[in-house]
Amino acid sequence: MEIWINPACSKCRSAVGLLDAEGAEYTVRRYLEDVPSEDEIRAVLERLGLEPWDITRTGEAAAKELGLKTWERDAGARDRWIAALAAHPKLIQRPIITADDGTAVVARTDEAVRDALSR
């Protein structure tokens, strides 16, 4: 499995700590440094079963600068949202764990991390 993290994020550190405590094998991706491409974001969204606006941190300064709260949230706007996430990775909700079974979870709680571990 792989976990997308921002090391400065307490939820990311907590998720990594739980993975370590459970003896999980995983790869860390510091997504602010190793920025996911639009195609990678699309693939993770597919695995999550979510839309890009579902994993966007709308409280971030970049979101306010872009005016994301006013953007349409429909199929026609999907590519625009994905492009914004790729251009401004800080907008991506974290941590995201991609599980070995092809699914993914936004692992902001211990329960979500355990869910990923059980897959």
Query: Would you please indicate which residues are annotated as catalytic (active-site) residues?
Result: 9
> How far is it, in rounded angstroms, from Cα 46 to Cα 112?
17
The vertex-83 CA angle with 2 and 35, nearest 5°, equals: 35
Among 107, 59, 50, which residue's Cα sits nearest to residue 78?
Answer: 50
Q: What is the DSSP string of 18-52?
A: HHHHTT---EEEETTTSPPPHHHHHHHHHHHT--G
Which residue reads 């499995």 in tokens? 1
